[in-house]
Structure 1
């Protein structure tokens, strides 16, 4: 059982083909970014830059993870950077569908 001055948290990161969830106890007052660093998760993902990686808690992005203090039982999610702007990607998919339809009509 955790002592009152520590809390239990989880840190998670996932790629398309590899995921890691780590449970750890941290001192009360630990920030999200500190917990991610303490977890050692970067050792499993050499390309992961914890100093700049976007983060959230239970699916909700947090703007300043270095300032957000964790509560007992929370899960820190480390997000991958977006490869493409979602709006632009949608436009490109719609344009491709339109081109494909034009090709079938001819």
Structure 2
């Protein structure tokens, strides 16, 4: 699986022989040819995982493994959440958005 952009997912289902590595599976899937921006030689840019756990391109696959390629984040999640909260305002979002009638502020 690889998602080059939000709401775009490239997914392949492969039947491979035993002893195939992550890199061999990606080459056989055609994903590396279809998405030339993927450069697995730069582990700080693209991360290869199996079921969400980091691995290397030389890792030998087992039955039913799912390879995931993570692209770099474009925005820090904490910053994005903070900006969304500021945009929505404190009255519509957050812990204290729904208050009971007559309740003290913050409860």
TM-score (norm 1): 0.60
Quote the RMSD (CA, aligned, Å).
2.7
Question: May I ask how many residue pairs the two structures share in their alignment?
Answer: 87
Q: Which entry has the higher C-alpha Rg, 1 or 2?
A: 2
Name whichever structure is richer in strand by fraction: 1
Structure 2 alignment gaps of length 5 or more: 93-107
Superposed, 1:1-106 pairs within 5 Å as 12-15=1-4, 16-28=7-19, 30-52=20-42, 53-58=46-51, 60-62=52-54, 64-66=55-57, 68-98=59-89
Bigger relative CO (Cα 8 Å, ≥ 6 apart): 1
Deviation of residue 71 (structure 1)? 1.0
Structure 1 alignment gaps of length 5 or more: 1-11, 102-106
Deviation string 1:50-99 (CA, Å, 9 cap, x unpaired) is: 333212222x131x423533212211111222111111111111122228
Name whichever structure is richer in helix by fraction: 1
